[in-house]
Every structure is written in C-alpha cells, then in structure tokens.
C-alpha cells in the first residue's frame, strides 16, 4: 500500500524490482479478500486482463506496458536469440495482449509505446533494449499517477462540499493509479475537508460499483451508498444528485464516450433531470483515430456473467439466451464536460479536444 500521508492507496499493479514479474491485487476477490497475484508469462497477463483480475482502462494500459517490458527482459536472456527474432517474438506477445479486451484503448496505446521503445533502441543489444522497455513501462505508470492527480484537481473545481454525486462502475484508484480518474476529485476533496454523499450504481453484471467503488470510498471515510442500477432515476428525482462522475474506456475524437454498460442510460437520465454529467478522461484514453463512437468496438462477454454470477444456481431458466455487451457509448451531446489532465473540455468536443491536445 502507498501512503501519501493523506489518502492511503493500494498498489494495484506493481512491477517487481528485478523486472521479472508484476504483482497485482486480484480485483475479482475484492471486497472480501485482498489477494495478490504474480504475473510472469504473457499468458498470465492475458488471463489477468481478460478475466478482470486487473481492470479499468488506465490500469490495464499500465499492466499491458509492464507485460511487454517483462517479456522483453525474458527474451533478452535467451541465448543466441537474434535481434530480428527478439522483435518477432515481442510483436507476437503484443498482439496477444492487445486481444485481451477490445474496448479500452489504453491497452493498445501502452503496448504500442513499449514496442516502439524497443524498436527505437534497435542495435543497442538485447539487454539494453529490455532495460529501455522497463524504463518506459515505469514511466507510463508514473505519468498516469500525475495525470490522475491533475484530473482530480480540475474535477474538484466543478463541485461544492455537500454535493450528492452519482457514479457508475469503478473509476477509482484500483482502475488507474493513486487518485484514479472519476473518483479522484472525491478523494482530494475529502483530504481538503469537503463532504460528499456518493451514490454508487452496483453496475450489473460484475458489480464493480458495489464491490470496488464502495470499498475504495468507504475505506477513505467518504459517505457512500450503493444503489441498484435501476434506482438512478429515483435518486435523481428525489434531488439527491448534484452531478454524475464517470470514467471512460475510449473517447472518440468527437467526444462520444465508451464506458461500462449502463453509463449512457445514466447520462440520458441526467439530461432529463438537468444534472451535469462529467466524464473524467486521461489523454491516454482519447482515440483521435476514431472519429465517432460508432467506430468503437464493444466487448461482448460470456452469458454466464448474467445468468450465474454470485448465485449457486442460474437465475435464468436453462436454454434462455443472455446478451452481455460490456460497454456502451454515451453520445457527446449528453456530456456536460470532459475533464482531462490538461484542462476541462466542453462541446463542441471535436474542436475543444483537438485544440487542447494539438491534434
Ligand atoms: O469492465 P471494466 O470493469 O474494466 O470497466 C471499467 C470501466 O468501465 C471504468 O469505468 C473505466 O475503465 C474507467 S477507469 C478509470
């Protein structure tokens, strides 16, 4: 655990000192057990990401960067491996990691970054190339922590003490680094004496809101109440919500935002009730190559996550189909602002995002 002196955060994804492995907190076991798992092979990383042991767009990006760096080091120790063979094997590993989950763009951005680092150092010898990959992967993580802190500062400027905040899924420290993205302003506000009343959607089917968001906020002493996803409308109508805070998995150039399935419904309700809907987005989650949300691939996961999770027997009659899209896209028209580490963007997002990031 890292103790900043104010809020104590878990080290969710940690590269070992020798660069041979990565230790993650297994998010599938939370909140009941704190289990740490060591990942060494590309298959270990692939399974940890696809099974959501490590999850949240920035966290899987960091994990993907580490995965390639650990693999680069392993390859560099193979006797008589040529540089050409090294790059071929590293690329195979990258393709495998990239296929673990399709929606969060951080995964590909960060594996690209480490592979490019390896290519840029061609000719220096395999051990030096591997050392550069490890350096780059550590940099990815420290940059993420800095981005999260800046996003938290901007986010805090949008709210007042006493606010009721609705959030969906988990965009806290477990999903990123240190402060997290969508919850960062809440942790920072707590440190600075703000009082918030947070409503956390349970987030069916995998319950990230009930299991992870409430766990993180409660540990930090922030008032949090879990509601079922279908209760968002009534808490808004009852005047309990002043703002909605969510993270994101991929933001298209026009501001359309993919996040955990159910997010777009929250945004539609927020529009109806006149409540601001904020998306917290590190630049690593913006995909300028993707013009609109229509081009974002939505991950589809197994039926058993709907029919069976947490129940001894299936809750759905045998033979009945389940449809399990894991993300949805919120139309940029529903988003009040996108909060990045460089500042707060407002519509029209195509212009405001490209201006802020010089794209
Ligand atoms: O399927 P998950 O749990 O990885 O989905 C994660 C989300 O949708 C988060 O809201 C998103 O990654 C934001 S992370 C700061």
Confidence of residue 94 (pLDDT cuts 50, 70, 90): very high
pLDDT reported for residue 68: 98
pLDDT reported for residue 261: 98
* CB environment 255-272: b (16+ within 10 A), e (fewer): bbbbbbbbbbbbbebbbe
CATH code, domain carrying 300: 3.40.50.10470
- Same domain, yes or no, for 336 and 235? yes
Q: Answer whether residue 345 shows pLDDT above 50.
A: yes
- Please calculate the CA angle 295-204-258 and round it to the nearest 5 degrees: 20
SS (H, E, C) 62-124: HHHHHHHHHHHHHHHCCCCCCHHHHHHHHHHHHHHHHCCCCCCCHHHHHHHHHHHHHHHCCCC
Confidence of residue 1 (pLDDT cuts 50, 70, 90): very low
The three-class DSSP label of residue 143 is helix
pLDDT reported for residue 5: 54
Atom of ligand 1 nearest to the CA of 282: 15
Atom of ligand 1 nearest to the CA of 169: 10
How many domains in the chain? 2
Around ligand 1, the residues with Cβ closer than 6 Å are 52, 55-58, 104, 169, 171, 175-176, 180-182, 208, 247-249, 259-260, 326
Residues serving a catalytic function are: 249
- Same domain, yes or no, for 162 and 143? no
- For residue 287, what are the β-bridge partners? 252
Please report, rounded to a whole number, the percentage of residues in the chain having pLDDT higher than 70: 98
If you search the block for the tokens 């009082």, which residue do you land on?
195
pLDDT reported for residue 2: 46
- Same domain, yes or no, for 170 and 110? no
Q: Find the domain containing 334 and state its range.
A: 151-357
Lowest mean per-residue pLDDT among 82-86, 157-161, 191-195, 311-315:
311-315
120-176 tens-digit pLDDT: 999 999 999 999 999 999 999 999 999 999 999 999 999 999 999 999 999 999 999
322-344 tens-digit pLDDT: 888 999 999 999 999 999 999 99
Mean pLDDT, all residues of the chain: 95
- Same domain, yes or no, for 119 and 186? no
From 148, 174, 204, the end of a domain falls on 148
């Amino acid at each position: 655990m890292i103790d900043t002196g104010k809020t104590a955060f878990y080290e969710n994804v940690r590269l070992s000192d020798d660069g041979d492995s990565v230790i993650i907190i297994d998010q599938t076991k939370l909140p009941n057990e704190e289990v740490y798992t060591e990942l060494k092979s590309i298959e270990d990383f692939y399974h940890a990401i696809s099974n959501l042991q490590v999850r949240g767009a920035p966290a899987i990006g960091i994990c993907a960067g580490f995965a390639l760096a650990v693999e680069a080091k392993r390859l560099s120790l193979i006797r008589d491996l040529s540089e050409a063979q090294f790059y071929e094997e590293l690329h195979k590993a990258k393709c495998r990691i990239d296929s673990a989950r399709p929606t969060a763009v951080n995964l590909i951005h960060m594996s690209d970054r480490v592979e490019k680092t390896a290519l840029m150092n061609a000719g220096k010898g395999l051990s030096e190339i591997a050392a550069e990959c490890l350096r780059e992967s550590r940099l990815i993580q420290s940059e993420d922590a800095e981005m999260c802190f800046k996003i938290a500062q901007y986010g805090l400027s949008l709210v007042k003490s006493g606010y009721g905040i609705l959030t969906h899924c988990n965009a806290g420290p477990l999903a990123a680094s240190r402060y997290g993205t969508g919850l960062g302003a809440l942790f920072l506000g707590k440190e600075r004496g703000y009082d918030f009343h947070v409503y956390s959607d349970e987030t069916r089917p995998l319950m990230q809101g009930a299991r992870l968001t409430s766990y993180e906020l409660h540990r930090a002493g922030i008032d949090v109440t879990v509601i079922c996803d279908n209760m968002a409308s009534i808490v808004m109508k009852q005047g309990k919500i002043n703002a909605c805070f969510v993270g994101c998995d991929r933001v298209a150039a026009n501001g359309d935002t993919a996040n955990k399935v159910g997010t777009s419904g929250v945004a539609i309700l927020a529009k109806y009730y006149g409540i601001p809907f904020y998306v917290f987005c590190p630049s690593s989650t913006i995909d300028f190559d993707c013009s609109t949300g229509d081009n974002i691939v939505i991950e589809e996961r197994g039926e058993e996550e709907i029919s069976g999770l947490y129940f001894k027997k299936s809750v759905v009659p045998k033979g009945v189909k389940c449809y399990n899209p894991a993300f949805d896209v919120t139309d940029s028209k529903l988003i009040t602002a996108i909060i990045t580490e460089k500042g707060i963007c407002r519509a029209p997002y195509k212009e405001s995002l490209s201006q802020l990031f010089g794209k």
